[in-house]
Structure 1
Amino acid sequence: MELKKKPTKKDNFVFLFKGSPLNDFLYPFKKAANQWVARYIIVTFAIIIRCAVGLGSYSGENQPPNFGDFEYNRHYMEIVTSLPLYQWYLQDLGNSNFMLKFPPLYAYHSFIWGIIGKLINKSWFELNNSIGCQDIDLKSFMRITVLFSELIAYIPSVIIYTRWMGRHYNKAPSIDQTIIAATILFLPDLAIIDHGHFQYNSFLLGIALIALNNLLYDNLALASIFFTLSICFNPMILYYSPIFFFYLLSLCFVPKFNLIRLIYIGVSVLLTFIVIFLPFIYSGGIQLLSHILYTTFPLNFNILHQSYPNFWSMTNHLLNNNIDLSNLKNLSIILTILAISPSCYAIFTNTSKRLLPWCLASCSLSFFLFSFLIDETSVLLPWMPVTLLLNEVDADVISMICWFFNTCLFSLMPLLKKDGLLLQYFVLGVLSNWLMGNLSWVRKFVNIIIPFISQRPNATPVLPHSYSWTATIISFYVTATIILSCDLLQIQPLVEIENFWEISNTFLSTISFGIFYVWLNFKIYTIHSLKAKSD
Structure 2
Amino acid sequence: MIFTVTCLTTCVKLLLIPAYRSTDFEVHRNWMAITHSLPLKRWYFEDRSEWTLDYPPLFAYFEYVLSFVASLFDKNMLVVENLNYESQQTLLFQRLSVIITDLVYAYGSYLCCKSIQKSWRTDVVLPILLITNCGLIMVDHIHFQYNGILYGVLLISLSYAMQAKYVLAAFWFSVLLNMKHIYMYLAPAYFVFLLRKYCLNGVSIKNNINTARSIKNFATLGAIVIGVFSFTFLPFYDHLGQVLSRMFPFKRGLCHAYWAPNFWAIYNTIDKILHLFLLKLGIVTKKSSSASMTGGLVQEFSHEVLPSVTPIVTLVLTASMMLPALIKLWSLNRHPSDFLRSIVLCALSSFLFGWHVHEKAIIMAIIPLSILSIMDVNDAKTFLLIGIVGHYSLFPLLFPSSLLFIKVMLIILYSTYALHSLSKVYPFAAHNFSLPLLNKGNGGHTQHPEPGGNRTHDPGCSGQARSYLTHLGLSEAYNEFGHKF
Q: Same fold (TM over 0.5)?
A: yes
- CA 1:389–1:419 in 2, change beyond 3 Å: closer, same or farther? farther
Give the aligned partner of residue 103 of structure 1: 56
1:304 to 255, 261, 264: 255
Could you tell me how far 1:376 is from its partner in structure 2?
A: 3.0
- CA 1:89–1:328 in 2, change beyond 3 Å: closer, same or farther? closer
In the alignment, structure 1 segments of 5+ residues that lack a partner are 1-37, 60-67, 442-455, 499-535
* Paired residue type of 1:469: C
Aligned equivalents of 1:105, 1:366: Cα separation in 2: 26
Could you tell me how far 1:331 is from its partner in structure 2?
A: 2.6
Say whether 1:203 aligns with 2:166. no
Give the aligned partner of residue 267 of structure 2: 315
Aligned equivalents of 1:405, 1:115: Cα separation in 2: 37
2:131 to 167, 182, 185: 185
Give the aligned partner of residue 447 of structure 1: none
Is the 1:231–1:238 contact (alpha carbons within 8 Å) kept by the matching residues of 2?
Answer: yes
Aligned length: 419
Give the aligned partner of residue 194 of structure 1: 140
Say whether 1:280 aligns with 2:236. yes
Is the 1:53–1:191 contact (alpha carbons within 8 Å) kept by the matching residues of 2?
Answer: no
Q: Report 1:254-293 matches (<5 A).
A: 254-255=202-203, 256=209, 257=211, 258-281=214-237, 285=238, 288-293=239-244
Say whether 1:239 aligns with 2:222. no
Could you tell me how far 1:415 is from its partner in structure 2?
A: 1.6
Aligned equivalents of 2:220, 2:110: Cα separation in 1: 28
2:159 to 207, 213, 234: 213
* Paired residue type of 2:225: V
Give the aligned partner of residue 75 of structure 1: 30
Aligned equivalents of 1:482, 1:356: Cα separation in 2: 37
Could you tell me how far 1:324 is from its partner in structure 2?
A: 4.4
Q: Deviations over 1:194-232 (max 9, x none)?
A: 111011111111112211112122222222221111111
Give the secondary-structure state (helix, strand or coil) at the position aligned to 1:56: coil
- CA 1:418–1:293 in 2, change beyond 3 Å: closer, same or farther? farther
Aligned equivalents of 1:204, 1:101: Cα separation in 2: 16
Q: Deviations over 1:333-383 (max 9, x none)?
A: 222122101111112222231212111111110000011141231112122
**Runs of 4+ with >6 A deviation:** none
Tell which has more relative contact order, 1 or 2 (C-alpha 8 A, sep 6+): 1
1:386 to 369, 384, 397: 369
Aligned equivalents of 1:349, 1:259: Cα separation in 2: 21
* Paired residue type of 1:259: I
Could you tell me how far 1:187 is from its partner in structure 2?
A: 2.3
1:142 to 94, 99, 102: 94
Give the aligned partner of residue 364 of structure 1: 347
Give the secondary-structure state (helix, strand or coil) at the position aligned to 1:309: coil
Q: Report 1:337-416 matches (<5 A).
A: 337-352=319-334, 353-394=336-377, 396-416=378-398
- CA 1:325–1:126 in 2, change beyond 3 Å: closer, same or farther? farther
1:486 to 466, 478, 481: 478
* Paired residue type of 1:100: L
* Paired residue type of 1:45: L
Is the 2:256–2:356 contact (alpha carbons within 8 Å) kept by the matching residues of 1?
Answer: no
Q: Deviations over 1:383-437 (max 9, x none)?
A: 221122122242x542331221110121111122159632321121122133335
Could you tell me how far 1:439 is from its partner in structure 2?
A: 11
- CA 1:165–1:414 in 2, change beyond 3 Å: closer, same or farther? same
- CA 1:120–1:134 in 2, change beyond 3 Å: closer, same or farther? closer
Report the TM-score, using the length of structure 1 for normalisation: 0.73
Give the secondary-structure state (helix, strand or coil) at the position aligned to 1:119: coil
Aligned equivalents of 2:179, 2:137: Cα separation in 1: 19
Is the 2:322–2:346 contact (alpha carbons within 8 Å) kept by the matching residues of 1?
Answer: yes
Aligned equivalents of 2:368, 2:154: Cα separation in 1: 10
Aligned equivalents of 1:304, 1:145: Cα separation in 2: 30
Aligned equivalents of 1:370, 1:111: Cα separation in 2: 34
Is the 1:440–1:458 contact (alpha carbons within 8 Å) kept by the matching residues of 2?
Answer: no
* Paired residue type of 2:125: I
Q: Report 1:127-166 matches (<5 A).
A: 127-128=80-81, 130-151=82-103, 153-166=104-117
* Paired residue type of 2:99: L
- CA 1:325–1:89 in 2, change beyond 3 Å: closer, same or farther? farther
- Higher mean alpha-carbon deviation, 475-484 vs 465-474, is at 465-474
Aligned equivalents of 2:401, 2:235: Cα separation in 1: 37
Aligned equivalents of 2:246, 2:189: Cα separation in 1: 25
Is the 1:46–1:186 contact (alpha carbons within 8 Å) kept by the matching residues of 2?
Answer: yes
Is the 1:188–1:432 contact (alpha carbons within 8 Å) kept by the matching residues of 2?
Answer: yes
Could you tell me how far 1:239 is from its partner in structure 2?
A: 1.8
Give the aligned partner of residue 75 of structure 2: 122
- CA 1:440–1:384 in 2, change beyond 3 Å: closer, same or farther? closer
Q: Report 1:442-453 matches (<5 A).
A: none
Q: Deviations over 1:163-187 (max 9, x none)?
A: 21134xxxx24x7423321122122
Q: Report 1:43-58 matches (<5 A).
A: 43-58=6-21
* Paired residue type of 2:352: L
Say whether 1:250 aligns with 2:242. no
Aligned equivalents of 1:345, 1:457: Cα separation in 2: 37
Give the aligned partner of residue 472 of structure 1: 464
Aligned equivalents of 2:359, 2:386: Cα separation in 1: 17
Give the secondary-structure state (helix, strand or coil) at the position aligned to 2:359: coil
- CA 1:323–1:266 in 2, change beyond 3 Å: closer, same or farther? farther
Q: Deviations over 1:432-460 (max 9, x none)?
A: 1333354999xxxxxxxxxxxxxx99478
* Paired residue type of 2:244: L
Could you tell me how far 1:41 is from its partner in structure 2?
A: 1.1
Is the 1:224–1:268 contact (alpha carbons within 8 Å) kept by the matching residues of 2?
Answer: yes
Give the aligned partner of residue 332 of structure 1: 314
RMSD over aligned Cα atoms: 2.5
Is the 2:57–2:179 contact (alpha carbons within 8 Å) kept by the matching residues of 1?
Answer: yes
Aligned equivalents of 2:421, 2:168: Cα separation in 1: 41
Q: Deviations over 1:269-303 (max 9, x none)?
A: 0011111122223xxx2xx1121122113344412
User: How high is the sequence identity, in percent, across the aligned residues?
Assistant: 22
Aligned equivalents of 1:162, 1:124: Cα separation in 2: 39
Report the TM-score, using the length of structure 2 for normalisation: 0.81
Aligned equivalents of 2:436, 2:154: Cα separation in 1: 31
Aligned equivalents of 1:314, 1:127: Cα separation in 2: 40
Is the 2:73–2:89 contact (alpha carbons within 8 Å) kept by the matching residues of 1?
Answer: no
- CA 1:323–1:238 in 2, change beyond 3 Å: closer, same or farther? farther
Aligned equivalents of 2:465, 2:17: Cα separation in 1: 32
Is the 2:157–2:173 contact (alpha carbons within 8 Å) kept by the matching residues of 1?
Answer: yes
Could you tell me how far 1:480 is from its partner in structure 2?
A: 1.5
Is the 1:246–1:347 contact (alpha carbons within 8 Å) kept by the matching residues of 2?
Answer: yes
